[in-house]
Amino acid sequence: MKTSEIAELVDGELCGDGDIEITSAASLEKAATGQIAFFEKVAEMPSTNASCVIVPQAALPLTTETPGHREAETRPVGSVPEMRNGPEMRNGERGMRNGVRGTANDQAIICVKNPKLAFARAVNKLYASDQLFDGSHPTAVIAKSADVKNAQIGAFVTIGDDSYVGEGCHIHEGVRIGKNVAIRKFTVIHPNCVIYDGTEIGGNCVIHAGTIIGADGFGYVKDEEGNYEKFPQIGSVVIEDNVEIGANSCIDRGALGPTRIGEGTKIDNLVQVGHNVDIGKRCVIAAQTGISGSVVIEDDCVIGGQVGFGDHVRVQSGAVIGSQAGILPGKIVRPGIWWGTPIQPLDEYKRQNARVKGLERLRKDVTELKRAAEEKSEDCG
Amino acid sequence: MKTSEIAELVDGELCGDGDIEITSAASLEKAATGQIAFFEKVAEMPSTNASCVIVPQAALPLTTETPGHREAETRPVGSVPEMRNGPEMRNGERGMRNGVRGTANDQAIICVKNPKLAFARAVNKLYASDQLFDGSHPTAVIAKSADVKNAQIGAFVTIGDDSYVGEGCHIHEGVRIGKNVAIRKFTVIHPNCVIYDGTEIGGNCVIHAGTIIGADGFGYVKDEEGNYEKFPQIGSVVIEDNVEIGANSCIDRGALGPTRIGEGTKIDNLVQVGHNVDIGKRCVIAAQTGISGSVVIEDDCVIGGQVGFGDHVRVQSGAVIGSQAGILPGKIVRPGIWWGTPIQPLDEYKRQNARVKGLERLRKDVTELKRAAEEKSEDCG
Amino acid sequence: MKTSEIAELVDGELCGDGDIEITSAASLEKAATGQIAFFEKVAEMPSTNASCVIVPQAALPLTTETPGHREAETRPVGSVPEMRNGPEMRNGERGMRNGVRGTANDQAIICVKNPKLAFARAVNKLYASDQLFDGSHPTAVIAKSADVKNAQIGAFVTIGDDSYVGEGCHIHEGVRIGKNVAIRKFTVIHPNCVIYDGTEIGGNCVIHAGTIIGADGFGYVKDEEGNYEKFPQIGSVVIEDNVEIGANSCIDRGALGPTRIGEGTKIDNLVQVGHNVDIGKRCVIAAQTGISGSVVIEDDCVIGGQVGFGDHVRVQSGAVIGSQAGILPGKIVRPGIWWGTPIQPLDEYKRQNARVKGLERLRKDVTELKRAAEEKSEDCG
């Protein structure tokens, strides 16, 4: 992509040559010719060999009093980003590459409101795979009653009876799709995932390798002799559009009703989602978190890693729960930031930690008071 | 199944038409015609469209003074469950469906000691798959020396030398079975599981997708230069009858002896069982719990999710350990309910939590005592 | 292997017959004829039926006053290990097998500095599989542009374009290897692992079943409407030589740069390694630990199970972190032993636990002081 195309894509203001060809992306420190980078903290921009850098609009206007040749120096936010090699950047006249005065024409900057977002969009476009919808690999075993649209089906994939795979999907090698599964447009399922019977997956979803969707929930009934008999796990899993799920995670089917993951929610690796859990839209759930049965997480919640939810917890929209927190069954978690086991508001958690740390001092004070009291009572004697 | 067949199966007393055809199951709230449901809290039974409801025997005898047309009303336990549309239920004369007076004949109730257990049994029977033992999928790669009985072997399964798969087993797509593995009758192994060489799995077991049984335990010896060399992990895994293991769990092989999972034990998703662990019969272990090497868990223990066991812990029969608890290496956990890290009896854990919460008050008291003492000593001065 | 060969392999001193054939290994208690065992605590050596036992050099010199026929008795370190059946062990004249007096010739001991290490080496040699480099299973799908050396490729393996598999590798059934992957000599990848595009794996590595290497890291940017867009995850994973990774673990690719696992590091099952994490050489990381993005773990660290790392933590070389510990983002962990959440030095952690346990006593003391102060002020009144 050319720098001008990128500027247009991200709705940014281009300073410099619009014809520079960008072929890949890197961090600002490591970027080389032909690469795009971004940075957010204007005051601290280091020199770079990137051919294009996306910066905050606050970085403009470029001023002419900018000194060159200072490296990694701290400067006030809002001033021009530091460029090695001089002051004539505006209009493509100033270069960013160290010691290459006069090569200004092979570097450009793009100014936008949100550089990280713009960088993400540009790079995602740049790296978008030209998916060749060359149909199914000859080794794939697809049931006759399955309805597979113009999608890419990898080697050794199996697709069961009455399942549907939408247009533009990419089902990677070794994925197992059961019966009556529906997967909508442009969803990517990475290798060796297992999608049990009856699961519904929306469009534009990404499921990373090894993830299991629709295994039985964990529910048993004790019989007369104390043995566990399985409680029926005959519900389903419904995953809405634009959901991404990491590798080796597990989303269990509901016992009787569905387990649901709302639109735009992002789930990390090795996460456990129990039966009948209902997760809203635009939630983020970090790695190794475990969500027990029938938990409800409303829209726009952020959940850290290794958090544990007891069953029937309800997390209200907008709540943020810190890593390793533990939530007792049935609790309602209101909006705000929560931490610890059992969870408490972050401020209270910090105060409590400080109080526990203050225990040594407290003990000393009490011992001293006791001693003083004893001396006094001896005096009286 | 007909309602009369279900009543017979669960050894229950049928009230209503025995010829109603039941084809599926749902929760009481969502059930529709042709579905079976259950409830346990007689006092709060809502109206339902289910064609059959399993209820506690306490709900009987049905009385004639029961008013109809009240919905979701709280009533004393032992009284008749509320049925929409009237009082003549006994002998199939009363309906449960809202506003459909006179259709009593298409609803029935079945009274049993334990409705949840009866429901589980009825529904498990209802949904029992008519496994077609149609042999092996032509793509399966089965060693010539393997002994596969009349079982169903899915596409792309591999079975190594000298392994045995018993009658009625269902080995799903992409499962890897190593050499010298024995799997007894009617066991189901879901897709993409990996069973390492030498593993023994009992009858009537269910192993969910992506679970790994028999990988090497985590044991190393430091050599002279500080490098880790592998300690031999040449033991085995023995899983007894009626065990169920969730998705993406790991059961490591023993270092020298076996790792054992006792009969009827149920293990959830993403659980780690280390080498030489010995788990007894009828234990329940929830998701993401990690069990270090050589831990012994005796019969009938209940372990919550995300619990961590140090090595060589022994959990005595009947102990219950709460979620996220941590148990130090070598500890003996006696029967009772345990919680926290390091674990303590639940009551002590609660008291301790209360004391920590009381720290703020305690600090204030001490500060006041100090101030009083200082004033007094000034008075004396 | 003959006992003399084993003695030579482990550089040990052989006492007894060098021609005894050893075919397998077991623990000292369970070993039978033809098996090798080891023990480390000389003082407590039980009798054994092992044909060969590796013992510490401290066990020598063998003395003649050693009584036979005592079982599992405690004896001072440095004395001869107890052998059943008599005192004439030296020079192969004494037997170890219970009640088989006179069969001294079919047992031997080997004395070494580090018996566990020597045992590991001997047994690893004994059990080394005679890998038949019989090439690729006919069902494997290997891209034409892939370069697969003299390696063993299992059934249903897929290998993508431009990937390299070195000499002596064993790629088990159902493994997915993407494009541009490099796997060096003698590395073993167990069934159903997934290696994403661009991953580099060193020589002599072992990756256990179901592990996912190179899935996208967990990084998103919020857009103007509050939806999450994916931040590019276009970095790579670099795994150096002699690394072992357990089953169902996840090593994410870097966002822009690489995620690295240093030489000789050992990682257990179900471990999460986030994007851009950099792990040094000879680290040990136990099961279910989660490492957030951009964490640096320097050489020779030991990390327990279920530990949680916030992002950008740096663990300095030689640090030891106890199980279930939690480390806040950005923290620098110095060498030493650390425990708890948030982590603290082990000694401080223990003291703090003791102080919390002392809270009940502290509360009583304060209550008493208050009562005394009140009485006094009443006296004054």
The pLDDT of residue C219: 96
Residues of C in contact with A26 (CB under 8 A): 256-257
CB contact under 8 A, A269 and C174: no
Residue carrying structure tokens 């003291």:
C351
CB contact under 8 A, C268 and B218: yes
Residues of C in contact with B230 (CB under 8 A): 120, 124, 244
Looking at per-residue pLDDT, the higher value among B81 and A123 belongs to A123
Cβ pair A292, A275 in contact under 8 A: no
A 72-101 residues inside an 8 A Cβ radius of C: none
CB contact under 8 A, A270 and C274: no
Residues of A in contact with C212 (CB under 8 A): 208-210, 247-248, 269
The Cα A281–Cα C203 span in angstroms is 44
Residues of B in contact with C125 (CB under 8 A): none
B 299-328 residues inside an 8 A Cβ radius of C: 306, 308, 310, 326
CB contact under 8 A, B362 and A365: no
DSSP C336-371: EEEETTTTEEHHHHHHHHHHHHTHHHHHHHHHHHHH
Q: What is the ipTM of this complex?
A: 0.87
Cβ pair A213, A237 in contact under 8 A: yes
Which of C250, C251, C270, C375 is most worth mutating to test chain A (most A CB atoms within 10 A of its CB)?
C250
In this complex, the residue of B117, B119, B270 whose CB is nearest that of residue A250 is B270
| Torsion region of C358: left, alpha or beta (phi above 0 gives left; psi -120 to 50 gives alpha) | alpha
The Cα B343–Cα C62 span in angstroms is 46
Neighbours of B371 (CB within 10 A): 10
Split at pLDDT 50, 70, 90, the class of C102 is very low
pTM: 0.89
Tokens (6 digits) for A224: 């007369």
| Strands A308-309 vs A290-291: parallel, antiparallel or unpaired | parallel
In this complex, the residue of B156, B342, B356 whose CB is nearest that of residue C156 is B156
Cβ pair A82, A63 in contact under 8 A: no
For residue C30, what are the β-bridge partners? none
CB contact under 8 A, B286 and A218: yes
Nearest residue to C201 (alpha-carbon basis) of C128, C274, C258: C258
Residues of C in contact with A282 (CB under 8 A): 226-228
Residues of A in contact with C141 (CB under 8 A): 137, 139, 155-156, 173
C331-349 pLDDT per residue, tens:
999 999 999 999 999 999 9
Least confident of A152-156, A234-238, C76-80, C357-361: C76-80
Split at pLDDT 50, 70, 90, the class of B95 is very low
Looking at per-residue pLDDT, the higher value among C119 and C68 belongs to C119
B315-329 pLDDT per residue, tens:
999 999 999 999 999
Residues 6 or more apart whose Cβ sits within 8 Å of residue B125 = B1, B9
Mean residue pLDDT across chain C: 87
B1-14 pLDDT per residue, tens:
999 999 999 999 99
State the 10-residue block means of pLDDT for chain A, 381 residues long: 95 93 93 93 81 82 37 32 36 37 67 95 88 82 96 97 97 98 97 98 98 97 94 97 98 97 98 98 98 98 98 98 97 97 94 90 87 73 49
In this complex, the residue of A226, A358, A369 whose CB is nearest that of residue B300 is A226
CB contact under 8 A, A232 and B123: yes
Q: State the nearest Cα–Cα gap between A86 and chain B, in angstroms.
A: 51
Task: List the strands of the sheet with C308-309, edge to edge.
Answer: C141-142, C158-159, C176-177, C194-195, C212-215, C250-252, C272-273, C290-291, C308-309, C326-327
Q: State the nearest Cα–Cα gap between C128 and chain B, in angstroms.
A: 10
Mean residue pLDDT across chain B: 87
In this complex, the residue of C221, C272, C290 whose CB is nearest that of residue A116 is C221
In this complex, the residue of A191, A264, A360 whose CB is nearest that of residue C194 is A191
Provide the residue type at C192 as one letter.
Answer: N
Q: Which chains touch C (3 or more CB pairs under 8 A)?
A: A, B
Q: What angle do CA C371, C377, C381 make, to 5 degrees?
A: 140
Split at pLDDT 50, 70, 90, the class of C82 is very low
The answer, for A357 touching chain B at a CB cutoff of 8 Å, is no
Q: State the nearest Cα–Cα gap between C225 and chain B, in angstroms.
A: 35
The pLDDT of residue C59: 57
CB contact under 8 A, A256 and B25: yes
What is the mean predicted confidence (pLDDT) over C36-46? 82
Residues of A in contact with B266 (CB under 8 A): 218, 220, 228
The pLDDT of residue A369: 86
B 159-188 residues inside an 8 A Cβ radius of C: 174, 176
The pLDDT of residue A90: 36
Least confident of A145-149, C128-132, C174-178, C281-285: C128-132
What is the mean predicted confidence (pLDDT) over B246-255? 98
Split at pLDDT 50, 70, 90, the class of C104 is low
**Could you list the active site residues of A?**
275
Nearest residue to C277 (alpha-carbon basis) of C257, C290, C253, C293: C293
**Which stretches of chain C are DSSP H helices?**
3-9, 115-126, 346-357, 359-380
CB contact under 8 A, C268 and B326: no
Nearest residue to C306 (alpha-carbon basis) of C320, C295, C291: C291
The answer, for C116 touching chain B at a CB cutoff of 8 Å, is yes
Which of A208, A216, A218, A357 is most worth mutating to test chain B (most B CB atoms within 10 A of its CB)?
A218
CB contact under 8 A, A244 and C230: yes
The pLDDT of residue C379: 64
CB contact under 8 A, B124 and A216: no
* Number of A–C residue contacts, CB under 8 Å: 171
B161-217 pLDDT per residue, tens:
999 999 999 999 999 999 999 999 999 999 999 999 999 999 999 999 999 999 999
How far is C-alpha B89 from the chain's CA centre?
Answer: 36
Neighbours of B5 (CB within 10 A): 17
In this complex, the residue of C26, C174, C282 whose CB is nearest that of residue B176 is C174
Answer whether residue C83 shows pLDDT above 80. Answer: no
Answer whether residue C261 shows pLDDT above 90. Answer: yes
In this complex, the residue of C25, C244, C373 whose CB is nearest that of residue B232 is C25
CB contact under 8 A, C228 and A264: yes
CA distances (Å), origin B154, targets A143, A150, A158, B142, C312: 13, 26, 10, 11, 45
C 360-379 residues inside an 8 A Cβ radius of B: 360, 362-363, 366, 369-370, 373
Looking at per-residue pLDDT, the higher value among C19 and A104 belongs to C19
Helix/strand/coil for C170: strand
In this complex, the residue of A221, A234, A270 whose CB is nearest that of residue B127 is A234
CB contact under 8 A, A192 and C176: yes
Q: State the nearest Cα–Cα gap between B77 and chain A, in angstroms.
A: 22
The Cα C45–Cα C32 span in angstroms is 16
Q: State the nearest Cα–Cα gap between A162 and chain B, in angstroms.
A: 17
Q: State the nearest Cα–Cα gap between C292 and chain B, in angstroms.
A: 18
**Could you list the active site residues of B?**
275
The pLDDT of residue A130: 65
Which of B243, B324, B344 is most worth mutating to test chain A (most A CB atoms within 10 A of its CB)?
B324
C105-159 pLDDT per residue, tens:
689 999 999 999 999 999 999 998 765 667 899 999 999 999 999 999 999 999 9
Cβ pair A202, A243 in contact under 8 A: yes
From C69, C137, C275, C312, active-site residue = C275
Looking at per-residue pLDDT, the higher value among C340 and B96 belongs to C340
Give me the percent of chain B exceeding a pLDDT of 90: 74
Nearest residue to A239 (alpha-carbon basis) of A183, A283, A197, A188: A183
Q: Which chains touch A (3 or more CB pairs under 8 A)?
A: B, C
C316-335 pLDDT per residue, tens:
999 999 999 999 999 999 99
Residue of A nearest to B157 (CA): A156
Q: H helices then E strands: how many in chain C?
A: 4, 38
C 187-206 residues inside an 8 A Cβ radius of A: 192, 194, 196
Tokens (6 digits) for A287: 């790695």
For residue C272, what are the β-bridge partners? C250, C290
Neighbours of B7 (CB within 10 A): 24
